[in-house]
Amino acid sequence: MSDNVKMINFMGGRRIAMFISIAMMVASVAVLAVKGLNFGLDFTGGTLIEVIYEESVPLEQVREELSAAGYESAIVVNFGSDTDVLVRMPQGMSPTLGEEVLAVLQAGTEAEVELRRIEFVGPQVGEELREQGGLAVLLALVVVLIYVAMRFQIKFSIGAVAALGHDVLITLGVFAVVGWDFDLTVLAAILAVIGYSLNDSIVVADRIRENLRKLRKHDAVEVVNISLTETLDRTLVTSGTTLLVLLALAFVGGEMIHSFALALLIGIGVGTYSSIYIVASLLVTMNISQDDLIVVEKEGAQIDDLP
């Protein structure tokens, strides 16, 4: 490989990028602390009834019917279309609530009211799901930290985990700001973001490691820049194709997985940026150098085949 390698000076803007990332993370933490996530039924417990009317009904009328029947705390919204009505009740209600509400709604109109779904989650189940979710995210981060530290080196590990934390935090932050429902499927999406963003970070880290060993004449910043330039094509193509399918999910996949797709879209968008700027610039900040990779692993047999 020749010395005049193509290189985009990514690291030149790393201070600005760092500043933006830190600002975004601080903002996310602040929003999460002040406003908090709009937890869905899965985590709060309660009852949710989705019905579809033959023709659209004014929500105000549905609210009045419910409140006349004694369900003052019911939250009534449209779901997807104006004939589709979602009724949410706070926790602490009885398990038979679903049928009762359906009966009230049916009584209030001439037209047929078709039941789409009833979900009831007991308060203790909601609490458990919340705990399990947090545990899953933490566990995933720790396992990743250990695996990357084993396969690469502790500096790479810190970089990768910092990028994951960054992506998760900002995705959560966006959910908090916009006030989208945070339910079990969104949690699954967050965990998928961890898996995906990791994928990206590892590809970049892998190339930095390879080039650190190969390009001994360049300093660390240059090596990182060269590696990022080399992987840029792949990073953009992969993110691009994944975003394509996610757009398909978000727009035609239906209401039930809409927020799942949204969470992934945000997470993967941020993840693409973080694999370039967080992992790499943290490595530069931690003064990554050839000396960090003393244990040289076998590079595979293909080296011998080179002309």
Considering only residues 158-197, where is the footprint of other proteins by CB under 8 A? 184-185, 187-188, 191-192, 194-196
> Which of 4, 291, 300, 304 is the binder for other proteins (CB under 8 A)?
300
Q: Does 256 bind other proteins (CB under 8 A)?
A: yes
Q: Does 241 bind other proteins (CB under 8 A)?
A: yes
Concatenated DSSP letters of 57-88:
--HHHHHHHHHHTT-TT-EEEEESEEEEEEEE
Distance CA 303, CA 98 (A): 67
Q: Does 304 bind other proteins (CB under 8 A)?
A: no
Q: Does 279 bind other proteins (CB under 8 A)?
A: no
> Which of 64, 245, 287, 289 is the binder for other proteins (CB under 8 A)?
245
Bridging pattern class, strands 75-79 and 113-121: unpaired
Q: Please choose, out of 14-22, 25-33, 54-62, 236-244, the segment that lies near other proteins by the rule CB under 8 A.
A: 236-244
Q: Does 269 bind other proteins (CB under 8 A)?
A: no
Distances from the Cα of 285 to the Cα of 14, 152, 232, angstroms: 10, 17, 21
Q: Which residues inside 116-145 make contact with other proteins, applying CB under 8 A?
A: 116-122, 124-125, 129, 132-133, 135-136, 139-140, 143-144
Q: Does 238 bind other proteins (CB under 8 A)?
A: yes
Distance CA 93, CA 96 (A): 8
Bridging pattern class, strands 38-39 and 181-182: parallel
Give the shortest CB-272-to-other proteins separation in angstroms: 12
Distance CA 130, CA 190 (A): 14
